[in-house]
Structure 1
Amino acid sequence: MFLETVRRRNPGLIAAAVALHQAGKIPAGTYVYDLDAVGHNARTLAAEAARLGLTPYAMLKQVGRNPDLTRTVRAAGIGASVAVDTACARATTSAGMPLGHVGHLVQVPRHEAAAVAAMQPAQWTVFSHEKAAEAARAAREIGREQDLLARIHADGDEFYVGHEGGFAADDVLAVADRVDALDGARLAGVTTFPALLFDAEARTVRPTRNAATLALAAARLRDSGRDVVVNGPGTTSTRTLATLAELGVTHVEPGHALTGTTPWHAVTDGDDDLPEIPAAVHVSEVSHHHGGRAYFFGGGLYVDPVLGRSPVHGLVGSDPDGLTRLPAELPPREAIDYYGQLDQERGSAAAGDTVVLGFRGQAFVTRACTAGVTGVSTGDPQVAGIWASDGSAVAWPV
């Protein structure tokens, strides 16, 4: 899905990935990130956000909370993270990134509220009064007043299956009064997800009905005399920030834009390329052959389904200058991804050859490693570190 985009716009990343794997510096089953390109992307996003008066938080789950990438993003001007869950909050704060937003999409479990409060998040999203009370109590116990965001919804809003929850938007003033009455918290604003979605037919990004709900709720809060944080995540990239600003959003959460892998990046073809450079590939290794197919190691072959099931190809070989492009077959989602397969009948693939794939990953739900690489842009690639998909260190070589 993204392999040709990487091949066209950042071929040095593919060459670096093959050379480093063949040298034993990257294990099979690793997401490899071009830290030079990530830094460029983060700077581009941060500059446009500053121009528009927006506050960006980096979403780092999809890169496995890689600490080297986290530090690269922070150094490039995005000063805080958004944590999809408490594991994400622990990993990004451990890497030195302040916690900007927590509790959205995944609520904070009751017995983890104290630990999260100690991380001093700038905002904490709640879906219910029970969760608001838990956050307030945890903040009060360490002498803080926590800014809370209410996740809101209205008829016609769009949610991914399993993401539903929150307060009725029509009740936002009553919600604000009830939250403000808590000792240890106040209502700072509202949020939803997704505020933007990629429209595959139009090949562009569009605001959702949720964005209109968000704007109306924010207006009601402002009319009541409150300053309001309006958090609008979803398919965020440099080119969508102006749209979000026009919708009244104040806080944005780029994630896949940091590696140039939003759905919009997948469909551009030259003149309409987005500013972000593609900065991610998945690296594996041919294990064995069977039935006319070359089997390569899995562990990280979860393809984000946002663009549906698309044909996948791999580049295979041991020489960066002599790679063969072969059709690849990945295991179905209901199967454990022990191996992927290459169509051996259409080309040669030897045991030990490197396999490079390009797709929209979600490293945090896999058992893959992640590796940030510096020096791709200068032709001197170096591995910054090897990390597990939860951001913890991996001893490599074994």
Structure 2
Amino acid sequence: MFLELLRRRNPGLLAAAAHLHQSGDLPANCYALDLDTVAANAAAIRREADRLGLSAYAMTKQVGRNPDFCRTIRDAGITEAVGVDLQCAVADHLGGLGIGHLGHLVQIPRHEVSTAAALTPRYWTVFDDTKATEAATASAAAGREQPLLARIEAPGDRFYRGHEGGYPADQIVAVAERLDALPGARFAGVTSFPTQLFDPAAGRVVSTPNLDTLRSAAAALRAAGRTHVELNAPGTTSAAMLAMLAEAGATQVEPGHGLTGTTPWHAVTDLVEEPAVLYVSEVSHLWSGRAYVFGGGLYVDPVLGLGGTRALIVPRGGGLDDAYLVDVEMPAPEAIDYYAMADVSAAPAVAPGDTVLFGFRPQAFVTRALTAGVTGIRSGDPAVSGVYAADGSAPLRLDSTDTPATASTERAS
């Protein structure tokens, strides 16, 4: 679905990725990021957030916490990130972003709270008093008072399986008082996830019961005399739905796929953000009418279902006009994605080494893929700014003179 979106709205990224792979600058098993378009997307979200008085924290896990991506959105005005886990927050910090929020979705392990506190997060989410005490103790030891967000839940709220947890929403006033009493911390507000989701029947993003739970909690806190309550409302975030969140009382939003134009809403409606990411692979070998395509990053975010997948195969020395659009059999979700298998029965000229381009919703951080920012696509002079592993670090690179003791692990420049 997102391949067709790329062909229509950002063919320059497809052409640049094919050229850069054929020149050897983009490796196979790599998510390529159009940094010019990422910058435009981030600026559009930042403008709308500023207009509505919302704080915007970037979610970078989808693109492997790529440092060039982090610097691009920072320069476009989104200067702080949300760490989905502590490793994400550390990678964002190393990539040049401040930490606006951590602890949600993944709480901080108890022996790692000092590392979290050293990141000086603007907000830290806790699910219960044990985690609140750990966060407060680490923050006090670091000489600071940490604003805490309470993750809350109420009957009827919607959570992905394995994401459950939080304080009972109807106890929020007492929870706030307990958090305020902790040396090194203070209560700042409430959060939940997802507070909005794409509705395929409606063809747009709609709020979940979780958002009403946050609104009710905020109202109870104001009635108890609290004049300002932060309301953190993540989920399927793009510029198009920020007004709805602001009207509901949200104060914080967390764009992730919106920065690359790959939310489910983008798949069916041309929103202001344009698609800015694709997956680059290569034909490994041919067998029985199929081209076996290198994998490693073939995890497709299943939010839109696991329908058929297609790819473009660009012959060596050719361009998009020479490409074959083929059906691809992806590895089963329970299998290791060593290869995908492309039906090339109607593409007899396909050969090992040809470029393969996919368009789908990535979650690079759960893969063994590489990521690479590409600059200059809009000006017609594309170049790879750096290649990184899925955790935001530079991959090990060897040359013929290296031994394991001398191999370079320097960040790509």
TM-score by length of 2: 0.94
Please give the alpha-carbon distance, in whole angstroms, between the structure 2 residues aligned to 1:342 and 1:171: 54
Give me the identity figure in percent: 59
SS of the residue corresponding to residue 381 of structure 2 reads: coil
Please give the alpha-carbon distance, in whole angstroms, between the structure 1 residues aligned to 2:186 and 2:325: 55
Equivalent positions of 1:289-328 (< 5 A) are 289-317=286-314, 318=316, 319-321=318-320, 322-328=322-328
Which of 274, 285, 307 is 1:277 aligned to? 274
Aligned partner of 2:233 in structure 1 is: 232
User: Which amino acid in structure 2 is aligned with residue 198 of structure 1?
Assistant: F
SS of the residue corresponding to residue 345 of structure 2 reads: helix
Shift of 1:397: 7.9
Shift of 1:223: 2.0
User: Which amino acid in structure 2 is aligned with residue 365 of structure 1?
Assistant: V
SS of the residue corresponding to residue 287 of structure 1 reads: strand
Aligned partner of 1:263 in structure 2 is: 264
The answer to whether the Cα contact below 8 Å between 1:58 and 1:254 also exists between their aligned partners in 2 is yes
Query: Residue deviations 1:138-162, cap 9 Å, x none?
Result: 0000111100000001011111111
Equivalent positions of 1:127-206 (< 5 A) are 127-206=127-206
Please give the alpha-carbon distance, in whole angstroms, between the structure 2 residues aligned to 1:75 and 1:296: 36
SS of the residue corresponding to residue 244 of structure 1 reads: helix
SS of the residue corresponding to residue 377 of structure 1 reads: coil
Aligned partner of 1:39 in structure 2 is: 39
The answer to whether the Cα contact below 8 Å between 1:302 and 1:361 also exists between their aligned partners in 2 is yes
The answer to whether the Cα contact below 8 Å between 1:14 and 1:320 also exists between their aligned partners in 2 is no
Aligned partner of 2:25 in structure 1 is: 25
SS of the residue corresponding to residue 297 of structure 2 reads: coil
The answer to whether the Cα contact below 8 Å between 1:386 and 1:395 also exists between their aligned partners in 2 is no
User: Which amino acid in structure 2 is aligned with residue 114 of structure 1?
Assistant: S
The answer to whether the Cα contact below 8 Å between 1:198 and 1:264 also exists between their aligned partners in 2 is yes
Cα distance change on mapping 1:303 and 1:369 into 2, 3 Å:
same
The answer to whether the Cα contact below 8 Å between 1:285 and 1:354 also exists between their aligned partners in 2 is yes
Aligned partner of 2:106 in structure 1 is: 106
User: Which amino acid in structure 1 is aligned with residue 391 of structure 2?
Assistant: D
Shift of 1:396: 5.6
SS of the residue corresponding to residue 235 of structure 2 reads: coil
Please give the alpha-carbon distance, in whole angstroms, between the structure 2 residues aligned to 1:224 and 1:203: 39
Please give the alpha-carbon distance, in whole angstroms, between the structure 2 residues aligned to 1:283 and 1:250: 37
Aligned partner of 2:60 in structure 1 is: 60
311-320 or 109-118, which deviates more: 311-320
Aligned partner of 1:368 in structure 2 is: 369
The answer to whether the Cα contact below 8 Å between 1:386 and 1:396 also exists between their aligned partners in 2 is no
Query: Residue deviations 1:235-288, cap 9 Å, x none?
Result: 0000010010011000000000000000001112xxxx1000100000000000
Please give the alpha-carbon distance, in whole angstroms, between the structure 2 residues aligned to 1:127 and 1:320: 52
Please give the alpha-carbon distance, in whole angstroms, between the structure 2 residues aligned to 1:299 and 1:79: 30
Query: Residue deviations 1:44-72, cap 9 Å, x none?
Result: 00000000000000000000000000000
Please give the alpha-carbon distance, in whole angstroms, between the structure 1 residues aligned to 2:319 and 2:108: 45
Aligned partner of 2:252 in structure 1 is: 251
Shift of 1:79: 1.4
Shift of 1:220: 1.1
Aligned positions, number: 394
SS of the residue corresponding to residue 171 of structure 2 reads: helix
Q: Is 1:286 equivalent to 2:256 in the alignment?
A: no
Q: What RMSD in Å do the two structures reach over aligned CA positions?
A: 0.9
SS of the residue corresponding to residue 114 of structure 1 reads: helix
Please list every run of 5 or more consecutive structure 1 residues that lacks an aligned counterpart in the other structure: none
Aligned partner of 2:357 in structure 1 is: 356
Please list every run of 5 or more consecutive structure 2 residues that lacks an aligned counterpart in the other structure: 400-413
User: Which amino acid in structure 2 is aligned with residue 320 of structure 1?
Assistant: G
User: Which amino acid in structure 2 is aligned with residue 118 of structure 1?
Assistant: A
Please give the alpha-carbon distance, in whole angstroms, between the structure 1 residues aligned to 2:293 and 2:377: 25
Aligned partner of 1:338 in structure 2 is: 338
Please give the alpha-carbon distance, in whole angstroms, between the structure 2 residues aligned to 1:247 and 1:209: 12
SS of the residue corresponding to residue 350 of structure 1 reads: coil
Please give the alpha-carbon distance, in whole angstroms, between the structure 2 residues aligned to 1:395 and 1:107: 30
Please give the alpha-carbon distance, in whole angstroms, between the structure 2 residues aligned to 1:341 and 1:380: 32
Please give the alpha-carbon distance, in whole angstroms, between the structure 1 residues aligned to 2:186 and 2:107: 17
Shift of 1:346: 2.6
Please give the alpha-carbon distance, in whole angstroms, between the structure 1 residues aligned to 2:305 and 2:311: 18
The answer to whether the Cα contact below 8 Å between 1:152 and 1:191 also exists between their aligned partners in 2 is yes
Please give the alpha-carbon distance, in whole angstroms, between the structure 2 residues aligned to 1:208 and 1:280: 28
